[in-house]
A = this chain, B = another copy of it.
Amino acid sequence: MEWKNFSKLATYKKLAEFGTPVDVKEAMAGENGAKRVAEYKVPMSSGMVYSYASKQVNDELLDLLQELADEAALTEKYAALYNGDIINTGEKRLVLHQLCRGQLGDDVVVNGENKRDFYLAQQARAAEFANKVHAGEIVNEAGEKFTTAVQIGIGGSDLGPRALYLALENWAKVNNTLKMEAKFISNVDPDDASAVLANIDVAHSLFIVVSKSGTTLETLTNEAFVKDALEKAGLNPSKHMLAVTSATSPLANNPAYLDSFYMDDFIGGRFSSSSPVGGAILSLAFGPEIFDRIMAGAGAEDILAKNADIRKNPAMLDALIGVYERNFLGYNTTAVLPYSQALSRFPAHLQQMDMESNGKSVNRFGEEIDYQTGPIIFGEPGTNGQHSFYQLLHQGTGIVPLQFVGFKNNQMENDVVIEGSTSQQKLSANVAAQIVAFALGKDDDNRNKYFAGSRPSSIIVGDQLNPEALGALLAHFENKIMFQGFTWNVNSFDQEGVQLGKLLAKKVLAKDTDGALTAYSELLGIF
């Protein structure tokens, strides 16, 4: 198994010479379109399906993408990852977030510690803690039950857990499993913490400070902000605070916290929703058994990702179609469009997951590369996006590949019939209609009302956004990004690009600046 630059692969040249790309409008017209929808799909776990009929692919191209998968040894690289190789080359670390959800290969033992046992033990501790809170065995100083859990974290300690919480908040309500309300404080803007604190009952709130290193400035600042508020309310912060951190951080085993749960350097922030970063808050909010169900959905998807046949591996196929679009069709953005209000913040999580992982200009050995890597990701839930930026997607001068997500049933089972259809039917009708409108377009002599069509999209369809489906979605995109990183030969697991800003911000605060940095600091009224 070799780690070669993408442009050095024989398949790269073949793809570059593939000739005229498939025209979606042509391919999807008439009964052939129906045939493609029936054929160009891959089962996912939890009854979901990945449909790529409206992508710019045909059998010949799919065969080439299979060749690419084989030549790039994607399956072997995935195996190397889950068997414990040092995949994060920059930081010389293993990459083990999938191990939180299942054992995919060998035992991974580091310094005598079986890592799966370690991750399971931490989640078991978080689960036990949550159960005790729910049972009223862990209570506030007045002996009353905690009602609210507040996550204090930023980036991967915020976006993933927040997206997952919002995705199931209403589902949990109707299924009587919303144990505690969850809130999130992330921004160093003091108005963020102020606003959250103004809207909760701090005396009945648990705060989870999440920082792997224990040194994230925004998070420590917000922690201090919250402690200050607790003290002003006559409360003892150490009776209201938890830590999720690494075992060696200053937050670990610290009497400032009721308890602490650990992850380690082998789980990157943006992949940490499966660790106690997500597990603590989601177990408190929904109960540990719901978190376990999310993990089961993710774990099932991780197993599917082992399949070397791209036509049976939705994450790998999605990844390779994306690579084809990025490097050979020249598309530099992807819109994520979930037709589910509960997934309102899922695109923001994917935005970090994808752009922080694959927004790189050097390969995994730190050498410059000569091809494009990760795309820009953005998105909002449909139908809202339709009334916003879809104009450009339909009639703008560029092409944006679209990643739809839809469900046959809504979460809250509360609906109304208007003009002969339910809201859920309208929602689903809209996503079906959009895919076809983007693909087929519409002729019109009035060019203002003309739709060129030929705009590629895929869709993931599920029965309902429940814990398993959510876990499957999470793992699908994590694994897609991993396979794309393997193909581009980048290290998808570090983020050196965030360091320089931190360094310069420290200089500003220390007034150790010159030139433009001084001038901007003055413009912003800091000096």
Contacts and interface: CB of A to CB of B under 8 A. Distances in A.
Interface in A10-45: 28-34, 36-38, 41
A351 B507 CA distance: 34
B190 A451 contact: no
A493 to B, nearest CB: 12
Interface in A379-437: 380-384, 386-398, 400, 406, 408-412, 414-416, 418-437
A83 interface: no
A389 B352 contact: yes
Nearest to A368: B447
A340 B189 contact: yes
A28 B504 CA distance: 15
Given A433-B505, A497-B392, A523 B332 contact: no
A449 interface: yes
Nearest to A435: B520
Contacts of A2: none
Interface in A189-242: 189-195, 198, 217-218, 220-222, 224-225, 228
Contacts of A435: 516, 520
A355 B396 contact: yes
Interface string A42-84: 0000000101011000000000000000000000000000000
A250 interface: no
A352 B209 CA distance: 35
Contacts of A461: 523-525
A433 B506 CA distance: 9
A103 interface: no
A154 interface: yes
B415 A190 contact: yes
Given A505-B429, A509-B426, A190 B517 contact: no
A439 to B, nearest CB: 7
Interface stretch (A107-115, A119-127, A253-261, A359-367): A359-367
Contacts of A49: 523
A307 interface: no
A325 interface: no
A391 B520 contact: no
B410 A396 contact: no
A186 interface: yes
A368 B445 CA distance: 12
Interface of A is mostly: helix
Report, as a range, how many residues of chain A touch the other chain: 35 or more
A25 B523 CA distance: 19
Contact of A387 (B155, B518, B519): B155
A526 interface: yes
A249 interface: no
Given A406-B524, A418-B221, A500 B437 contact: yes
Nearest to A35: B519
A143 interface: no
Given A191-B412, A361-B396, A376-B400, A154 B383 contact: yes
Most buried by B among A49, A158, A504: A504
Contacts of A369: 397
B500 A442 contact: yes
Given A416-B221, A500-B442, A501-B437, A391 B355 contact: yes
A83 to B, nearest CB: 24
Nearest to A387: B155
A-B complex: 8 closest residue pairs judged by Cβ atoms: A359-B392, A155-B387, A33-B516, A433-B504, A37-B519, A408-B525, A378-B378, A352-B388
27 contacts: A29-B515, A37-B522, A156-B387, A169-B195, A188-B430, A189-B341, A194-B414, A225-B423, A352-B389, A355-B391, A356-B392, A369-B397, A372-B397, A373-B397, A376-B376, A376-B378, A376-B389, A376-B392, A419-B509, A426-B509, A428-B508, A429-B509, A432-B521, A433-B501, A435-B516, A449-B496, A451-B497
